[in-house]
Structure 1
């Protein structure tokens, strides 16, 4: 009942700031705030919220999860799907909860927003944690295509290899190139670990029974990818220069990546280590794209060690 009242309270306050966001909080409001920025575009925070948010709060954090405007549980027919709009909504969360500083935990596409917000308002960011964050979109697409090509070659799957050849001839900045590439990543299991840990098996089994995850866990809001592509050209984003700039300005940045996340090569993760420092990056065995669930104990211990 308390969580339901909190969510309703947040919805009312967020509307007062010209929003219509689904927001939920976990933990003590006096603890260090962590705002979770979910992946996408078009996804939502349901899986992280149900699998990890409360357990992160138990480590001594005030965890704020929300679905971006026009995505997931925050339907909005007037959503613009622009970075300006997304950053304004983060501003509204700061106002709603009277935050002076917060940790921005950016998963996948959420890492882009974490970096952009830190560039805009560095004094408001206590630290950034990048969790399997998208940093160089074009390099990620090349990584995926190389991996699935190898899989198809090993299988002698000539039909699929022809499809990959067609994708490679497409406009790499286009939304179709993005969609087909990520589709092949999903078809070939590049998002998850090949051999999940017993810990992860239990979490995923629990999430299969969770009513919220059942309803929203695989839901995609189709207008969001199109909108962000039209307005922000997100398929060509390269956040590495911005990351270097933040490091030069002494912003605290940490990163957790799964070694079995097929969206990112070891070279990409090594570049992140070179920029922010290898002692601030954990490259976890047995974890895929949902590193916070695939190796949850290690993930939570990392955040406690870095942020407390």
Structure 2
């Protein structure tokens, strides 16, 4: 009787998880699995799903996308927005799609989650790919603000704003938000010279159903920085530990992704190994749209 209750309770938890977490798979389940982890907090997987998921699956991968609990299409007012919760959701994806080991493809803030997950559950990770992913957070914020000071050196109002940001609690959602807003003013997320291909991808995305589901939950960052004690992480040592465990790490970044300094990217290249590291020209933060063909070629070459 007790074992029957345990089974029913487990099935209930799986059912609740399935209702809470949006996910979708592309490709053949017999192909190597790739799980995409989107950015945030308050992000979602719609841009990757609407532009790239099927094309990556066509390269011979079983591609799974999902929105984390409380973000995007995974609406949940009770979400705590912690790393522990993110790990549980990710493990739930493995269960839902009957996967024992997967290649993790992590973008932006998803890189923090993917890195910590790989370190804690190495038996579940075939490889870790950082695509425009965060790894030394405070260095990124410092880099943004330093560039802003130089760019706006003759603009008193902007210099005042930069000073206000620097005086905020560096572990707060407000600090992170305003740093990235400043990066936006500097054009750090913009592709220098959009190609016809990248313009078409964005146009098709904007006109389709995925863009309509580009849901942003403004309370997600607030909850994360309120409930998660680990902030502004430097994951250099964690990445080195992952490599020691035998998990290959690949890193793909846009040359024009202004939120990373040259020093940061050189340090990362030394951490993951030169042959596992790639910089793409005329490319910013959203590599899979800015330079989709090169993005897909890199993933196919490394993961196959």
Match of 2:286 among 275, 281, 290: 290
Number of the residue aligned with 1:80 = 80
Does the 8 Å CA contact 1:228/1:234 hold for their aligned counterparts?
no
Structure 1: which 5+ residue stretches go unaligned?
A: 1-11
Number of the residue aligned with 1:113 = 113
Does the 8 Å CA contact 1:101/1:126 hold for their aligned counterparts?
yes
- Report the 3-state secondary structure (helix = DSSP H, G, I; strand = E; otherwise coil) of the residue aligned with 1:39: coil
Q: Is the alpha carbon distance of 1:56 and 1:204 closer, same or farther for their aligned partners in structure 2, counting shifts above 3 Å?
A: same
Q: Is the alpha carbon distance of 1:284 and 1:234 closer, same or farther for their aligned partners in structure 2, counting shifts above 3 Å?
A: farther
- Report the 3-state secondary structure (helix = DSSP H, G, I; strand = E; otherwise coil) of the residue aligned with 1:126: strand
Deviation at 1:143, TM superposition (A): 1.0
Does the 8 Å CA contact 1:14/1:93 hold for their aligned counterparts?
no
Number of the residue aligned with 2:67 = 67
Distance in 1 between residues matched to 2:169 and 2:279, nearest whole Å? 32
2:29 is the counterpart of 1:33: no
Deviation at 1:14, TM superposition (A): 5.2
Does the 8 Å CA contact 1:175/1:235 hold for their aligned counterparts?
no
- Report the 3-state secondary structure (helix = DSSP H, G, I; strand = E; otherwise coil) of the residue aligned with 1:236: coil
- Report the 3-state secondary structure (helix = DSSP H, G, I; strand = E; otherwise coil) of the residue aligned with 2:169: coil
Number of the residue aligned with 1:102 = 102
Number of the residue aligned with 1:5 = none
Number of the residue aligned with 1:58 = 58
Aligned pairs, number? 293
Distance in 2 between residues matched to 1:164 and 1:257, nearest whole Å? 26
Deviation at 1:19, TM superposition (A): 5.5
Equivalence map 1:214-229=2 (5 Å): 215-217=212-214, 219-229=215-225
Distance in 2 between residues matched to 1:195 and 1:152, nearest whole Å? 23
Number of the residue aligned with 1:185 = 183
Distance in 1 between residues matched to 2:60 and 2:13, nearest whole Å? 25
Q: Which digits, 9 at most, give the CA deviation of each residue in 1:11-50, with x for residues without a partner?
A: x995354761111111111111100000001110000000
Equivalence map 1:233-244=2 (5 Å): 233=229, 235-244=231-240
Deviation at 1:128, TM superposition (A): 0.5
Distance in 1 between residues matched to 2:158 and 2:23, nearest whole Å? 42
Distance in 2 between residues matched to 1:133 and 1:19, nearest whole Å? 28
Deviation at 1:209, TM superposition (A): 1.4
Q: Which digits, 9 at most, give the CA deviation of each residue in 1:202-256, with x for residues without a partner?
A: 211222212321x233x42122111211222454212111011111222111011
Distance in 1 between residues matched to 2:266 and 2:85, nearest whole Å? 32
Does the 8 Å CA contact 2:171/2:225 hold for their aligned counterparts?
no
Distance in 2 between residues matched to 1:66 and 1:250, nearest whole Å? 26
Distance in 1 between residues matched to 2:236 and 2:102, nearest whole Å? 22
Does the 8 Å CA contact 2:107/2:132 hold for their aligned counterparts?
yes
TM-align CA RMSD: 1.7
Q: Which digits, 9 at most, give the CA deviation of each residue in 1:107-129, with x for residues without a partner?
A: 01111111111112111111011
2:256 is the counterpart of 1:256: no
Of the structure 1 ranges 12-21 and 157-166, higher mean CA displacement relative to structure 2 is found in 12-21
Match of 2:268 among 247, 267, 272: 272
Distance in 2 between residues matched to 1:14 and 1:77, nearest whole Å? 18
